[in-house]
Amino acid sequence: MVAPDQRPTPGALHGSTVDGRTIDLADYRGSAVVLNVWGSWCAPCQQEAPALEAASRQLSAKGVRFLGINTRETGGTAAATAFERTYGITYPSLFDQGADYLLALRGAVAANAIPSTVVIDPQGRIAARISGPTTEDTLVDLVDDVLTGRSPAS
């Protein structure tokens, strides 16, 4: 977790989603946001997808928003749409075919670190990150720590 006085602000994250809608991270300001970088081709992403959806449902009662960033798909949105359907993903995902959105997270997410999960605090700053797959409990605990200002247990 990043100390509140050292939290960077991500670059602009806005554009088309996998299902063709338009999303702007700036519209989520005032809410904690979980950003998950994933690809349908990524086995660890497939492994963690049910945990992310479960955490999304659990944390929605606290006003936490989820936004995926689908990256490096070679077949357009079809594979990403199939992934979301297979794993029952209900939150939107930006479609980042060229990995351009990863530049907005430079310093928080390495270009080759997929999956990665970033927690944005209600002030719009990067508060925490997980490189690699996560679990529902780990993610819920981390978001709770960000919301309450607690340091995560060692």
CATH label of the domain that carries residue 55: 3.40.30.10
Residue of 97, 112, 114 whose CA lies nearest to 35: 114
What's the total number of domains in the chain?
A: 1
- Identify the band that residue 154 occupies on the pLDDT scale cut at 50, 70 and 90: very low
26 lies in some domain: no
For residue 15, the Cα-to-chain-centroid distance in whole angstroms is: 15
pLDDT digits (tens, 9 = 90+) for 89-113: 999 999 987 777 877 887 777 667 7
152 lies in some domain: no
125 lies in some domain: no
40 lies in some domain: yes
Cα gap 39→60, rounded to integer Å: 23
Contact status, residue 83 vs residue 89, Cβ threshold 8 Å? yes
Q: What is the pTM of this model?
A: 0.92
17 lies in some domain: no
55 lies in some domain: yes
60 lies in some domain: yes
pLDDT digits (tens, 9 = 90+) for 26-72: 999 999 999 999 999 999 999 999 999 999 999 999 999 999 999 98
The whole domain housing 40 covers 31-91+99-104+135-147
Contact status, residue 51 vs residue 139, Cβ threshold 8 Å? yes
79 lies in some domain: yes
